[in-house]
Amino acid sequence: MIDPAPVKRTELSSLGEFGLIKHLTDTFVCEQPSTIKGIGDDAAVIDYGEKVTLVSTDLLVEGVHFDLSYMPLRHLGYKCAAVNFSDIVAMNGTPRQLFVGLSVSNRFPVEALDEIYAGIKLACERYHVDLAGGDTTSSVHGLFLSLTVTGEADKQDVVYRSTARENDLICVSGDLGSAYMGLLLLEREKKVYEANPDMQPELSGYDYILERQLKPEPRTDIIELLKKAGVKPTSMIDISDGLASEVLHLCEDSGLGCRIFEDKIPLDAMTIAAAEEFNIQPVTAAMNGGEDYELLFTIAMNDFEKVRAIEGISIIGHMTEPNAGTFLASNNGPLIKIEALGWNHMHDAH
């Protein structure tokens, strides 16, 4: 298991507020022409000219959204940034600037924050996003991260959740349920470790599902492929809470029903194997697990051929008139009503 506090320990108070911000952000370089002014004034200044500005914000709380006993701090930083970028991608836009609010108790040394920022930097560099501002403060307990990302899009390119139409095809990128299986694995190994600290965690051979949980990627490649193919989705959302919850968002916001086919839901072989090991249905991990950060979107029927030709996109169902309800057609026959499993962040960590 990973120790959240690396060996060297510089007290937060030794740097002072402005010293700490400078220390954490000094190695970030702004590369976007739209970033007129980044860190270092009352506000960042961003210029999208003829484009619209997309803004999304996320709050991540230790003990609620992440568990530092198995989430390395560098991965935490990467994941927080990547997840935020994914919200801009889900609007069919491109993330451009990131703002990071960080609140920590004195239990964390500067080196721990350095690890978080190293992860954020990796994500920023990979997706060409500028760190353009933020706020750093102390907390009485624990670690809080608040991220805001701004992105750009041509006005006519923005895709909302509310604009799916009847008979549109429902598509999903990548595969689903793997991030949740990675989480179950990490939680199991944590319990084993707590019961017997001499035990080595059994994580080898599970690389894919662990990476899906610890290092999700925003699917900027998918929106580029769709653009290249001349397809504009009719509605779109990213999968943070599980397929069930997200498809219900599209249905509710667009005033429609849906039919999803279980046998069309993309599952990785390792997800299926791990689900068997944990004695759960793989489709349950896909429907209710969450944190896959794949894109769920709808397309017009006459874009079917174009989308079918794109690797990494599965067509899993279609939108229906609202009275037809929201159903999953299961492999063994019966229709199962799709329901959201509520808000487990309010109740316990996941």
Q: How far is CA 61 from the centre of its chain?
A: 15
Report, in Å, the least distance between residue 279 CB and a second copy.
Answer: 28
Angle at the Cα of 309 (from 305 to 314), degrees rounded to 5? 90
Taking the CB of residue 308, how many other CB atoms lie within 10 A of it?
A: 12
Classify residue 14 by its DSSP letter: G
- Is 9 a binder of a second copy (CB under 8 A)? no
Which residues does residue 326 pair with via DSSP β-bridges, in sequence order? Answer: 258
Residue that has been written with the tokens 């309010």 in this structure: 346
- Is 127 a binder of a second copy (CB under 8 A)? no
Tell me which stretch binds a second copy (CB under 8 A): 48-56, 119-127, 173-181, 304-312. 48-56
21-40 positions binding a second copy, by CB under 8 A: 36-37, 40
Nearer to a second copy, 165 or 308 (CB): 165
178-207 positions binding a second copy, by CB under 8 A: none
Report, in Å, the least distance between residue 297 CB and a second copy.
Answer: 11
How far is residue 226's CA from residue 106's CA, in Å, rounded to a whole number? 47
223-282 positions binding a second copy, by CB under 8 A: 236-238, 253
Task: Decide if 46 contacts 132 (C-beta within 8 A).
Answer: yes
Report, in Å, the least distance between residue 261 CB and a second copy.
Answer: 25
Tell me which stretch binds a second copy (CB under 8 A): 17-25, 167-175, 190-198, 264-272. 17-25
Choice from 24, 30, 62, 164 touching a second copy (CB under 8 A): 62
Taking the CB of residue 26, how many other CB atoms lie within 10 A of it?
A: 10
Here the tokens at position 25 are 């952000």
How far is residue 275's CA from residue 279's CA, in Å, rounded to a whole number? 6
Tell me which stretch binds a second copy (CB under 8 A): 1-9, 50-58, 181-189, 205-213. 50-58
φ, ψ dihedrals at 318, nearest 5°: -150, 160
Tell me which stretch binds a second copy (CB under 8 A): 129-137, 206-214, 255-263, 329-337. 129-137
135-164 positions binding a second copy, by CB under 8 A: 135-142, 144, 146, 148-151, 153, 155, 158, 160-162
- Is 311 a binder of a second copy (CB under 8 A)? no
Collapsing DSSP to helix, strand or coil, 72 comes out as coil
313-342 positions binding a second copy, by CB under 8 A: 342
Choice from 28, 30, 65, 234 touching a second copy (CB under 8 A): 65
The three-state (H, E, C) secondary structure of 214-237, written as one string: HCCCCCHHHHHHHHHCCCCCCEEE
Q: Taking the CA atoms of the chain, what radius of gyration do you get in angstroms?
A: 21
Report, in Å, the least distance between residue 223 CB and a second copy.
Answer: 12
